[in-house]
Structure 1
Amino acid sequence: MTVAKERISRRAVDKFAQRREQLAESALQALADLGYARTSLREIAQKSGFSHGVLHYYFADKVELLTYAVRKFEKVCVTRYDDVVADAGSADELKRGFGAAMAGTLRSDAAMHRLWYDLRNQSLFEDSFRADVLDIDAQRQDMVWRVVERYAEFAGQPPLVSPEVAYATFDGLFHRALLHQLSGQQAAAEGLAADVEELLARLV
């Protein structure tokens, strides 16, 4: 293959990837608004400005598009608390920062978190994206565990629970707060921050 043909081929690949990114952004909005079960490729196409045929050209089906879109969102999510860990100079700073960060994402990204829980629930019935859900869940667990380990270092004590238990507990608090936030409870985020701080202190 000549250099010119290689460049043309590379541009075609880049354009294909860019279009998938655009479609994924539109899909995330549609899926976050309507949920997995109520969203079709046609509805996503209407929101994206692309035709149904174009959407189907870039993604084989809704499952592929959904998984791609959620993974795109999760790239940000799974490092959300790393700056909190890096910037904290004490156990108290880390505790407050972690609580504030969880409260912040509850306020700003509630629809996207709702989509994640929808996807995770759907994976109990559809094995086509179960592996992706398990992988994302494992990354989220690692993210939370980095916070717990750092807090334990500040406290000079080992964690009292396993990574699995720590993640499940924080996830349970967040899931409950998300339901309250979506129900219009104004104090949901503040309550989550306080609960997260208390829980982190009890895990070490």
Structure 2
Amino acid sequence: MTTATHPDARSGQRGPDKFSARRRELATATLKTLAELGYARTSLREIAQNSAFSHGVLHYYFRDKLDLIAEAVRIYEDLCVTRYDEAVASATTADELRRDFSSMFVATLRADSSLHRLWYDLRNQTRYEESLRDEVREIELRRTEMIWNVVHRFCELRGAPARMTRQLVYVAFDGIFQQGLDDLLNGADPEMTGARDLLDEVFAAL
């Protein structure tokens, strides 16, 4: 049997690397469309109709919409997991870090609400789509580490160890984030007052 040669390999470039780069490019370019459509209303054909790429191109690089959404969310999370690094590095007091973190927390909810909605939409689908679970679990671990870095530095600056475990800290902050997103999207709390108050409560409990 003759083994088919990938077109990228024939071009003299490293096929798998170029294929992965093209997948990343397409997922990045369609991220806005994915976020606007959400999981339930998304298909490769719908994405193609709302982007500059044909259905055939998308289908060539992605098995199905789950494959594309997972790649897009992974790319977004690559950026998100560093969003609080500046606050952690620059804060000189625990209170300063708490304030800066809360401001960034609220800012990303406002600026990227559709993308965060896509993340929670994808995470919910793991209850039905086993193929997504490894990807989502990996992202969850990175988000847990991101939040723990903030809390660890906060406790260092305060001069006392955390009274919560890493996992409990993540569950608390993630719950506030998700509720804040819901309140923002449905207009219940456009000023994010509830999220800010809950964040202060968690920091006080640490």
* Common topology (TM > 0.5): yes
Residue in 1 aligned with 2:75?
A: 72
Query: In structure 2, what is the Cα distance between the partners aligned to 1:194 and 1:65?
Result: 36
Segment of structure 1 superposing worse, 123-132 or 182-191:
182-191
Could you tell me which residue of structure 2 aligns to residue 147 of structure 1?
150
Matched with 1:57 is: 60
The CA distance in 1 between the partners of 2:15 and 2:78, in whole Å, is: 25
Higher RCO (CA 8 Å, separation ≥ 6 residues): 1
Which residue is 2:133 aligned to? 130
Per-residue displacement from partner, 1:118-157 (whole Å, max 9, x unpaired)? 0000011110010110110111011000111111111111
Provide the alpha-carbon RMSD of the alignment: 2.0
1:33-92, Cα deviation, whole Å (9 max, x unpaired): 121121000011112211111111111211111111100000011111111100111001
Please tell me whether the aligned partners of residues 78 and 139 of structure 1 are also in contact (alpha carbons under 8 angstroms).
Answer: yes
Aligned to 1:183: 186
Where structure 1 has 5 or more consecutive residues not aligned to the other structure, the ranges are 1-5
Q: Which amino acid aligns with 1:100?
A: S
8 Å CA contact 1:20, 1:58 repeated in 2: yes
Give the TM-score of the pair, scaled to structure 1: 0.89
Cα distance between partner residues in 2 of 1:145 and 1:186: 27
> What pairs up with 1:16-165 in 2 under 5 angstroms?
16-165=19-168
User: C-alpha displacement at 1:175, in angstroms?
Assistant: 0.6
Amino acid at match of 1:132: E
The equivalent position to 2:169 in structure 1, one of 166, 170, 180, is 166
CA drift at 1:201: 2.5
Name the amino acid aligned to 2:43.
S
- Length, aligned pairs only: 198
Identity %: 49
1:27–1:44 contact (8 Å) kept in structure 2: yes
In the superposition, the TM-score normalised over structure 2's length comes to 0.88
Deviations 1:164-200 (A, max 9, x none): 1000001111111100100124544343233213311
More deviation, 121-130/47-56: 47-56
- Flag structure 2 segments of 5+ consecutive residues without an equivalent: 1-8
Choose 21-30 or 172-181, whichever is displaced more: 21-30
Output the amino acid matched with 1:128.
S
Greater per-residue helix proportion: 1
Q: CA deviation at 1:26?
A: 3.5
